[in-house]
Structure 1
Amino acid sequence: MRRSKYRRPSSSPAWFSGRRRVVVIGAAALAAFGGVVTVTQISSASTERTQQRALAACDDLQAPNRAQLSTQTRKGTYTTNNGQVTQHADDGAGDVATTAQVRARCRDWVIKNVSEEAVTQATTQARRGGGNNNGGQNNGGNQGNNGNNGNNGGNAGNNGGEASAAPSDAASAPAEEEQNNGGDTGNNGGDQGDNGGDQGGDQGDNGGDQGEQPAPAPTTPPPGAGLGVLTNSCDTSNLAPHDGFQNGNRCVSTEFGEVGAAANNSTLLITNAPRQVNRNTPFTIQVSTRNLIRDRFLAAGQGGYYVESSVLQNGLVRGHFHTACRILQSQNSAPAPEPVPAFFVATEDNKGGAQADTVAIQVPGLPEAGNFQCSSWAGDGSHRIPMMERANQTPAFDSVRVRVR
């Protein structure tokens, strides 16, 4: 299971970490200038440079291209039901920001986040140095103490070699490359450990006690900056991390993964199903899928729920599809979500691709009389409906009504 970012080193770009990463300046500058320049001057100069770089990046942003819109839908955002319900045509795709708006939001984010964090952290770090000109040399001592990191890196390489094989040849090749890289990482780690020890011996005694130093500040705003994004990670959640099993009130840290081009996005259609059947009488539902490679399934009961990011193969998502039938207590209101359905299967047959094909789902019979909703929907490796390039594309889902007598 992919760990959340607060439990593992982040491989994301600097802007993807939000307010948790800040500029570290002040202490090193004091050492360089022999304490002649004041903390405020150092903080201001470094902050200005960081902010200018971030603002320069904003000037390179361009407005997104306008997406294709539906032809018959009323355009824009409007309300219905006497103003009680707001409707966003094409999921808001028609309201495209201009280049000026995108750059203005970017600059606003930089001014509000980069400068304030930089000044605060620079002042704090300078004070921790205690006026000791050798404060910046403590890193050498820390590296020496952490020399064993090289051994850890080597172990990581060995562990990579023991990774379980993927279910298909197409998937196993990348995994093998990652194992080799793991070994190399281990060797490099060992070298770094030795170097760290040497540096510690030379400089560790002169180091000032600065404590843990934070990472550099973000210089580019995250996606959606200025739109009021609530959060984009589990770092701000009070819920326990999701562990791959079917438990609610958890925070899932698994990254969304890869999304294909619009023409390669998955679609699904129930092509044939009975309108009426007798109780406990078997029947067949025909399901057609397109752009879905049905070769990835991680059992939810084994901890495979919401743990794998979406993965593409030749531009197509890898996964499976589900089929379920549940009784409807009413046809005039949305059903309760928690009851288990009368029938549910996940279909994985190592087939499927860019061309549409059809799979026959055998339902052994439904136990009681009433109106049933029988549905099919595609799933990626984490059982989620595959992502789409555009917001106004219909996901890979279909549903029919079956009357049971």
Structure 2
Amino acid sequence: MSFLKKFLIIATILTAYIAASVYAVNAKTGNNVCCISKKDLFNGTQNPDGECVTTVMGEIPSKKQMISTVIRFPKNNDVLKENTPFTIRTKTINLAAGFFDDPLKQYYIFPQTLNKNGLIQGHSHVTVQKIQNENEPLDPQIFAFFKGLNEPADAKGELTALVDKGLPAGKYRLCTMVSSFAHQPVLMPVAQRGSQDDCVRFTVVKK
């Protein structure tokens, strides 16, 4: 292949890449992305095929009021007995908990809001997944336990979830997912920050 042909091929690839990149961040697209998207327009339901959401981001807290979470139980590397009930305990700072809309009819339908003290109004979730291979990402469609923590925090500042039947023996990962009122992940004011969520790994053994 001649140098000219190689040059033309490379130039064509670069042109296509630049065009795609510019289109992806084109300021003129902005909030009109759903007008050109091939995804269905959202309607407040959870669409497993994906969708395009027009809800604005809403209110963002100050840097001093960013979300941070710790899982208090089970702790990292804890060992639990199989099929034995236990209570997951978490604590989140700078979250006005207890704000939770109907996820079947109002999913992503409201923007993020702050209370009078500048705290995000929202709730949290806990999700437990069994670990099959510690070196590979877990399948997000498969979980052993999931629960929305919809109530206000208790007197200890904790949000809790009872795993009433316990879990079968195995290795597990437990994570929090803190959300705004309408279930979207909480939005923070700066990119460089600590995570708003926490994860631990624990083991369940046979009795």
Verify same fold: TM over 0.5: yes
Aligned pair count?
A: 175
Report the CA distance shift for 1:236/1:283 in structure 2 as closer, same or farther (over 3 A).
same
Q: TM-score, normalised by structure 2?
A: 0.76
Deviations 1:145-184, CA, capped at 9 Å, x for gaps: xxxxxxxxxxxxxxxxxxxxxxxxxxxxxxxxxxxxxxxx
Cα distance in 2 between the residues matched to 1:387 and 1:237: 23
Could you say which structure has the larger radius of gyration? Answer: 1
1:229 to 8, 17, 25: 25
SS of the equivalent of 1:332 reads coil
When residues 296 and 360 of structure 1 are mapped into structure 2, their CA distance, relative to the original with a 3 A threshold, is: closer
Structure 1 residue 291 corresponds to structure 2 residue 94: yes
Is structure 2 residue 145 aligned with structure 1 residue 322? no
Preserved contact between residue 69 and residue 93 of structure 2 (Cα < 8 Å): yes
1:270 aligns with 2:66: no
Quote how far apart the aligned CAs of 1:286 are: 2.0
- Aligned equivalents of 2:24, 2:99: Cα separation in 1: 35
How far off is 1:285 after superposition? Answer: 2.2
Match of 1:403 in 2: 203
Assess, with a 3 A threshold, how the Cα gap between structure 1 residues 232 and 395 changes in structure 2: closer, same or farther.
farther
Deviation at 1:294, TM superposition (A): 0.9
Structure 1 counterpart of 2:18: none
Shift of 1:331: 0.6
CA deviation map 1:7-28 (0-9, x unaligned): xxxxxxxxxxxxxxxxxxxxxx
Q: Structure 2 counterpart of 1:322, which letter?
A: H
Mapped pair 1:244 → 2:47: no
Q: Runs of 5+ in structure 2 lacking a partner?
A: 1-21
The answer to which structure has the higher strand fraction is: 2
Q: Please state how far the C-alpha of 1:280 moved relative to its aligned partner.
A: 1.2
**Residue of 138, 143, 160 corresponding to 1:335:** 138
- What is the CA distance between 1:364 and its match in structure 2? 1.8
2:139 and 2:150 mapped to 1: Cα distance? 28
Letter in 1 for 2:200: V
**SS where residue 194 of structure 2 aligns?**
coil
Measure, in 2, the Cα distance between the counterparts of 1:366 and 1:351: 23
* Conserved? CA contact 1:283–1:363, under 8 Å: yes
Query: Whole-Å Cα distance in 2 between the matches of residues 293 and 327 of structure 1?
Result: 30
SS for the counterpart of 1:403 is strand
TM-score, scaled relative to structure 1 = 0.41
* 1:132 alignment partner in structure 2: none
Does residue 372 (structure 1) correspond to residue 168 (structure 2)? The answer is no
> Counterpart of 1:307?
109
Amino acid at match of 1:305: Y
Give the CA RMSD over aligned residues: 2.1
- What per-residue deviation string (whole Å, max 9, x for no partner) do you get for residues 100-134 of structure 1? xxxxxxxxxxxxxxxxxxxxxxxxxxxxxxxxxxx
Per the TM alignment, residue 228 of structure 1 is displaced from its structure 2 partner at its CA by 5.8
4+ residue runs over 3 A deviation: none
**Contact between 1:374 and 1:399, CA under 8 Å: does it hold in 2?**
yes
Segments of structure 1 that go 5 or more residues without pairing to the other structure are 1-225
Q: Does the CA-based 8 Å contact 1:366-1:404 persist in structure 2? A: no
- Of residues 172, 188, 205, the one that matches 1:388 is 188
Secondary structure of the residue aligned to 2:35 is helix
Quick one: structure 1 residues 287 and 351, their matched pair in 2 at CA, closer, same or farther if it must change by over 3 Å?
closer
Q: Deviations over 1:196-228 (max 9, x none)?
A: xxxxxxxxxxxxxxxxxxxxxxxxxxxxxx896
1:269 and 1:289 in contact (8 A); partners too: yes
Identity, % of aligned positions: 27
- Cα distance, 1:313 vs. partner? 0.9
SS in 2 for 1:360: strand
Match of 1:23 in 2: none
Q: CA deviation at 1:239?
A: 1.4
